[in-house]
Structure 1
Amino acid sequence: MKKHFIGSFIILTLISSFTATSLTARQISSPWFQVEVTGSGSPMVLIPGLSSSGEVWQETVERYQDRFEIHVFTLAGFAGVPAPDSAGVFLPVIKQQLINYMEENLNEPAVIIGHSLGGFLTYWIGSKRPDLLRAAVAVDGMPWLAGLQFGHLEPEVRQQQIEQMYAGMRNQTDTQFRAMQPFIFSTMIRDSEKAAKWSRWGETSDRHIVALAMYELYSIDLSDKLSSMDVPTLQMYSWAAYAAYGATREGTLINVQAQTDKHPDISFATHDEAWHFMMTDEPEWFFSEIDSFLNSRSGMSITN
């Protein structure tokens, strides 16, 4: 009886050890991002938004790590990760470094999910290298951010607005920049506790990189490049947080469709209660939409 108990204990210990090891994140660092790799299966790439940590994808990792090998990025300059030596260029280099990473570390086309700035990068990668992607999800990230706010303006006037915004961000002091972060995050997440916690990501981001990234997001228009993105794509968009400023579900969809009308294979989803961090505000809906999309458009069978 004692031998049987000891044998069972050893087996259980080995099983527990194997399980813990298989789900332990592997860390990869470069001057342009940090990556945590966990899970097993086909590759999934998760890119967070401006000033955000890869921790924003925690629930997504927990849901899919038994089905995918998940590569979670935190971009340099955001959420305490040291800023790169950008030489005045950020997103174009990040885009190319992400492509290089995927070429070197993934053994098959990936499902890529990007939030906000990460959604913009998803479109950029997909339009440049569609062969690297099996399916794409942009979570409230657009191919042309300026189109949402300044699309109605003449190009010269629009660029003046962007330059003024950039100058204002560059001229902030560190104290002013940090003081703004709790308010900024409170406008994007319904959960006030998470908004307060995640505002620390903003406070520990490099304000110069944040300003440069915003400038590039507003200045670069990818909408005319999407015809080459022959990848099934789901565009999730929010509008509810901006209803007080006149945003409507229908009006936002019209704007988003105008930006993506050259995309050969795109579908849309929204939730009337979700704010900018849609995966956090409405996780059940979020995962249901992604599961349905992957099942119907990627050739995968996702069951949870």
Structure 2
Amino acid sequence: MSEPHTIQPLSPVNHRRERGLLERLSSLLLREPEDREQLHDVLLQAHERQLLDAEALSMIEGVMQVSELAAGDIMIPRAQMDLINVTDPLQDILQFAVDKAHSRFPVYEGQRDNIIGVLLSKDLLQCQLRSDVSVQSLLRPALFIPESKRLNVLLSEFRQNRNHIALVVDEFGGVSGLVTIEDVLEQIVGDIEDEYDYDEDADNIVSLRGKALGSYRVKGLTDLEQFNAAFGTELPEDQAGTISGLICGHLGRVPKRGEAIEWPPLAFEVLRADAKVIHLLKVSRLPQGATDSTDAAGAAQGQASGS
């Protein structure tokens, strides 16, 4: 039988160090920030004083941003959704599930807007073992949410109802996309890759729907060559490897969430960033008549707009 662990009292040196750390953190927090911007400044100071590491700061910023983002900001657009037709032969459904390698699939009947439930891939095993089980009998209820649903509220509903997927509908009731619990958590902790995430570039640039139609959600780490090819631009690829690196390089800093940067012919809005890198951008084209210059003058204009 092992002896019980004894907690040793702090030595005077360790005690002073512990008190010093707590006092410094308390002095930062006791300033009572009056708004979100001041709170963010306090967190940045804590990071600069090494009270928070970069990863912890990034996660706290992600938590703050989740309360401001809506489902429509991060949803997988309808055109990219993998849906199962309930009337398809079982073997076709099984092959589709294997090819796509998702754990859950929205299931429709007739038209793609007519979602009748959600099918778990693991439940398909029952169809293989029992001939009297139909796909329709295995469906779980689908959760429908508006595009305006805040992500912090959605995450709470996911936890309470034990759902992992929600169908996003527009103001007319049509399905405009879907959001998974993983999508929401990635806004806090960053990209979560699993063993099926083979194509890292597949969702770097995603077309937005609803009120944001005509705009695109772009990952900050998108390769500049891929970005230029997608938008028909000629942003300098010799100055940085990613769109995040290029924007940060010209601004001389990492822009904060919500900042707008104009680099004709494109307009950028920062959806998510931490102290080190831009994670997510909203990209749209500037109105007709805006200059199409993409040189350093355009970058300077972006810096003025982002400050």
Say yes or no: TM over 0.5. no
More helix by share: 1
Q: TM-score, normalised by structure 2?
A: 0.28
Q: Which has the higher contact order (CA 8 A, sep 6+)?
A: 1
Q: TM-score, normalised by structure 1?
A: 0.28
Bigger Rg, structure 1 or 2: 2
